[in-house]
Structure 1
Amino acid sequence: MSITKEELEEKVRNREDLSGFDLSKGSYSGLNLVGAKLSGANLSESDFVNTNFSGADLSEANFSLSNLTGAILENTKLKETNFSEANLSVANLGNANARRAIFTKATIHNANFQKTNLYQSDFSNSKLYHSEFEGADVSFSNFEEANLEDVNLQSANLKGEKLRKAILKDAKLQNINLESADLSDVNLEGSDLSGSRLDRANLKDANLSESNLQGVDLFQANLKGANLSQVNFKGANLKNANFNAGGTWDMGLYHPANLNTANFEGANLETVNFDISNLAGINFKDANLKKVLFGTSEYYCDLSNANFENANLEEAIFRGVNFIGANLKNSILLNARFEGYDDYHLGKRYTNKIDRKWKSMIESSGIEKFYSPNHIEWV
């Protein structure tokens, strides 16, 4: 239907029902369409730059390929609305009801989605740089292969989220709910996830380098193959988490990962490399630590007061480790290796320091046959 800007504004002022109207391929920039009734309307390939839709009913409308830069969509009804390939940069969608809305391949730079209901919405392959989602409900939505760089998702509900191969570099993710979310292959480099829920989340092959996971719940999370370089795990719960199959845990000489008070109870840490980690007081009870390397040929690892009760340390390698105060009750040390090393720069030899009360248990546990008594210092 051919309609002028003035005619459209007048119809909206008169509260006419424009449901199902065809306004495609039109130019309606800067209009005042507050409270418009446009549910199911065809608004595709149109210009709505800086148009005010506050309080409008736009549910099931089609905005595909439209330009909504700077548009105001605050408090609108956007249920199942189609924004695929639209431009929503700098648009305000705060407090809108956008359940099951479609934003695939949309460009959404610096947009506002604060406290918006985006349950089961589809943002796959969209560009969302610097946008605000604080307090939004985006549970069970699809962000696969979306670019969420520097996005603010603080206090948002992302339960059951699909984020496979999404980019979340430098995103603000504090205190969010990512329970059971799919974060496989996601780039979370430098992100702040402190205080968030990631229990049962899939982080397989994710890049978490330099991220802040302080106080995060990672119960039963899958971290196979994840890059955990220089991550802060202080106070994190990693009970029953799975780190198996060659994850990258490069602690770094000058910026080691912070694992202070982290809980690894029951975690599968098979083949993980704890280079120069400070693991003092960490709970490894019932954990699978088979073939884990503690320490390197150059730097030591502090395991003082750590709890290894019932842990599987089969074929683990200890190089100059401090075990003073550690609990090794009922741990499995079959074919474990205790190695010392010489620091030629400092002219110092490092050995594994272990409480004497564990001497008979360790010596009778079937440790690697080429282990040398000189590699353990009983204290």
Structure 2
Amino acid sequence: MNKIDFDSGIRLNNQHLKGQEVPTNQSLQPDLRKADFKGENLRGANLHKQNLAKANLSYAELIEADLREVNLSGANLNGACLNLANLTLANLQRADLSWANMVGTELTKADLRGANLKKANLIGLILDGANLSGANLSEADLSGIDLTDVCIQKAIYTANTKFSPGFNPKTAGAYLVGSHTVLSGVDLSEVALVGADLRFSELKGTNLRNSDLSGSNLDNANLTGANLIGADLSKTKLRGVTLQKAVYNHLTQFPEGFDPKSMGAYLITPKIQLMGVNLGNIDLSEADLSEVNLRGANLVGANLRNVDLSGADLRQIQLEGANLSGADLSHADLTRANLSGADLSGADLRHCDLTRSNLSNTDCQGADLRCADLTRACLSSARLDGADFRGGDLTKVDFRGSSLVGADLHSVNLKRANLVDVDLTGADLQNATLPTGSFWDEEMVFSSAQREKIMPSSS
């Protein structure tokens, strides 16, 4: 058997090292990304701070190995022996640790988000301050392990998962999964659902964005309106599954030959034609919908947080109660759109056409509306504190009862705007166009300086 000299500093990323003897108690040189150590003996090896992202370490022997601060994100550690290994501060995001032996392994403050720990042997595991959010704990034995300081938000477990007496995983934010499970509307994004039994489960409107469902069983499950963007459903059983109004993109992986479009699912991608679709209450947070055509579509109550809708055709769209916080709507056409009660806080609405749109009761605090056309738009009872309207056209806008505290209205055109009961405390109205004929009354809240600018004294 040949012995590799790691002190030579050679790069080993993408290398296959099967059959090679790896020296122990030596410091390996980077870069070890995607290296193949399957079944190798790395007992006692010094891998401190090494980059082993997506490396194959399945069935490798890593007993007492120094893996502090190592990058093992996406690595395959299936069946590996990590007994007494030190993985303090290690990055194990989306790593496959299924069936791994981790007796007495040190994982203090390790990052195990989205990791697969299915059927792993975790006796004596030390998890102080570790992050297991979205991890797969199916059939894992966590009895005797102190999880007080461990984050297991969105982690999944099964009826066979063992926890310490008195520990309630549900109150800690974890989800019980199994056949006939009801998880409708739940956020399971980035969660490791590898091999999960979800037959006949209710997953209506569930956010499965970027989740790993490979090898799972979704036969007869209801995924109506589910978000499957970036999800891995390769080798997943989908017989009898309901996918009406579910959404996916080009990164979503389905079993070979499976056509989600024929099942009523929608492809979400820039410039796609989705005129008149009914996607009410859908979760499309962070999706790229730039230049998409959603004219006349129904997205009432949809979660569109941080979505990219720049340049989109949104004429006459229904967005009542939708969450558009942080969304990019720059250069979008929202003519006659209904956004009543929507959350647009922090949204980018620059150069947006909002002519005759309904923005009543919206939360537009901190929104960027520079150069937007709001001609004849309704913003009654809207929260517009800190919004930036510079360069915009606010001709005949209905601001009745709105709060514009600290808003930037410098040099804007408010010709014939309705400003009854508007709170303009701290707003910048310098050089704003407010000719005779603007609607106002004594209930308008101005500072004395603002009153002098808008309603000069006769003296």
- Indicate which of 427, 435, 438 corresponds to 1:241: 438
Change in CA separation of 1:131 and 1:28 when aligned onto 2, cut-off 3 Å: closer
Distance 1:125 1:187, change over 3 A: same
What residue in structure 2 maps to residue 94 of structure 1? 290
Which amino acid counterpart does residue 338 of structure 2 have in structure 1?
Answer: N
Name the SS of the counterpart of 1:138 in structure 2. coil
Please give the per-residue CA displacement for 1:272-325, whole angstroms capped at 9, x wherever unaligned: xx3xx5x3xx7x6xxxxxxxxxxxxxxxxxx6xx8x6xxxxxxxxxxxxxx4xx
Q: 1:49 to 1:204 in 2, by over 3 A?
A: same
**Preserved CA contact (<8 Å) 2:401 2:423:** yes
Q: CA deviation at 1:44?
A: 3.2
**C-alpha distance in structure 1 between counterparts of 2:399 and 2:264, whole Å:** 35
What is the Cα deviation at residue 156 of structure 1? Answer: 0.5
The 1:79–1:51 alpha-carbon spacing in structure 2 relative to 1, beyond 3 Å, is farther
Give the whole-Å Cα distance in 1 for the aligned partners of 2:365 and 2:447.
19
Q: Aligned ranges for residues 164-175 of structure 1 at < 5 Å? A: 164-175=360-371
Paired position in structure 2 for 1:327: none
* Residue correspondence of structure 1 range 62-81 to structure 2 within 5 A: 72-81=268-277
Structure 1 residues 237 and 74, CA gap change in structure 2 (3 angstroms) = same
Q: CA shift at 1:23, angstroms?
A: 8.7
Identity of aligned residues (%): 22
Contact 2:229 2:252 (8 Å CA) reproduced: no
Question: Residue by residue, what CA displacement relative to the aligned partner does 1:93-119 show, whole Å, maximum 9, x if unpaired?
Answer: 101111111110011111000000000
TM-aligned CA distance change 1:249 to 1:28, over 3 Å: closer
Distance 1:117 1:49, change over 3 A: closer
CA–CA distance in structure 2, aligned partners of residues 242 and 212 of structure 1? 20
Pairing of 1:132-171 with structure 2 (within 5 A):
132-171=328-367
Q: 1:92 to 1:189 in 2, by over 3 A?
A: same
Q: In the alignment, residue 438 of structure 2 is paired with which amino acid?
A: A
C-alpha RMSD over aligned residues = 3.2
Query: CA–CA distance in 1 between the matches of 2:311 and 2:227?
Result: 30
Structure 1 length as normaliser, TM-score? 0.53
Q: Distance in 2 between matches of 1:50 and 1:214?
A: 44
Counterpart Cα distance in 2 of 1:236 and 1:26: 46
**How many residue pairs align between the two structures?**
221
Hey, what does 2:376 align to over in structure 1?
180
Closer/same/farther in 2, CA of residues 219 and 114 from structure 1, 3 Å limit: same
* 1:224–1:242 CA contact under 8 A, matched in 2: yes
CA shift for structure 1 position 73: 1.9
| 2:248 equivalent among 23, 45, 48 | 48
**In structure 2, C-alpha distance between the alignment counterparts of 1:189 and 1:26, rounded to whole Å:** 34
User: Is the 2:228–2:252 contact (alpha carbons within 8 Å) kept by the matching residues of 1?
Assistant: no
Contact 2:247 2:268 survives alignment (8 Å) = no
- Please point out which of 232, 254, 258 is paired with 2:428: 232
C-alpha separation in 1, matches of 2:345 and 2:384: 9
Contact in 1 for aligned 2:420/2:440 (Cα 8 Å) = yes
Does structure 2 retain, via aligned residues, the 8 Å contact 1:62–1:82?
Answer: no
Query: Residue 230 of structure 2 aligns with which residue?
Result: 30
Q: Is the 8 A contact 2:374 2:393 kept in 1?
A: yes
Q: 1:245 to 1:152 in 2, by over 3 A?
A: same
* TM-score, normalised via structure 2 length: 0.44
Deviation per CA, 1:171-209: give whole Å up to 9, x if none.
000010000011000000011001111111110010001
After superposition, the Cα gap between the structure-2 partners of 1:134 and 1:211, relative to the gap in structure 1 and judged at 3 Å, is same
CA distance in 1 between counterparts of 2:378 and 2:341 reads: 12
Structure 2 match to 1:110: 306
